[in-house]
Amino acid sequence: MNQLEKELLRIKEKVNEMWDLVTFQVNGGKAALVHADKELARKIIKRGKKVNDYDVKIDRMCENLFALFNPVAVDLRWVLAVLKINANLERIGDTAEGIARLVKEVDTAFDAELLQITQVLEMYDAAEAMLTDVRTALAEENTELAKALIKRDKVLDKINAKADKALVSYMQAHPENIAQALKVSNIIRKLERIGDQITNIAEEVVFYVDAKVVKHRQKGKRDKNKD
C-alpha cells in the first residue's frame, strides 16, 4: 500500500466514524420522540459538536491530500465525492439535532393519535433505512442501490405533502394540543430535509463510481437552512 492509499484509507475511516455519530443522532431521534426522552435528546444534541469536529477534520484531510498527492481519475472523484458527502452528513446531524431540541422542549409524551395521523414515525423509518442503505451503496460502490434511493425519497415527500391537511384537522379537534402539533409539523419538515440530504449523498456515489453527474428532481429549495 503506497502513501496515497494509506491517506485515502485514513479519510475513509474518519468518514465511517462520523457516519456512526450521525446514525445515532437520526435513529435516537425516533426513540426520543416516541418516549419524550429528554435525556436521549440531550445526548443527540451533545453529539453535534463531535460531528462538527469530524466535518472540519475530514475537510482538512482532503485538502492536505490534494496538496500533497494531486490525485487523479477515480481517486480524484472519490475525494471530491467525500467532500460533498461530508457536508451532507454534517447537515443531517444538524437537522437531527434540531429535532432533538424540539423534543427536549416537550413536557409530556407526544399524543399517539398525532403521531399516527401525520405518519411521522413512518417518515422516520424511511429516513433511517435510507441512511443505512446509502452507506452500503458507498461502501459497496453499488450505483443501482444509490439510484433506487433517489427514487425512495419520494416516500418522504408524499408524507410531507399530506401532513398539513392532517395537522389542520388534528388542531381543529384538539385545540389544547396545538403546541405539540406545531412541533410535529416542524419535525416532519426536518425529516423531509434529511431525505434530500441522503439523496445528495446517493448522487455523489453515482458520480464517484460511474463518473456521471446525477441531478434529482428540481424542488426549488436548498438545504442550506439548518434550523
What the chain holds in terms of domains, given with CATH numbers, is: 3-210 (1.20.58.220)
pLDDT at 216: 56
Summarize pLDDT for 104-148 with one digit per residue, the tens: 998 889 999 999 999 999 999 999 999 999 999 999 999 999 999
- Sign of the alpha-carbon dihedral angle for 23, 25, 26, 32: positive
Cell numbers found for residue 216 = 434529482
pLDDT at 209: 96
222 pLDDT higher than 50: no
pLDDT at 171: 97
Dist. CA 47–CA 25, nearest whole Å? 7
Region 41-48 average pLDDT: 97
Classify residue 111 by its DSSP letter.
P
DSSP string, 133-200: HHHHHHHHT-HHHHHHHHHHHHHHHHHHHHHHHHHHHHHHH-GGGHHHHHHHHHHHHHHHHHHHHHHH
213 pLDDT higher than 70: yes
pLDDT at 107: 84
Q: Name the pTM for this structure.
A: 0.92
User: Confidence class of residue 68 from pLDDT cuts 50, 70 and 90?
Assistant: very high
Summarize pLDDT for 178-207 with one digit per residue, the tens: 999 999 999 999 999 999 999 999 999 999
218 pLDDT higher than 60: no
Secondary structure class of 60 (helix, strand, coil): helix
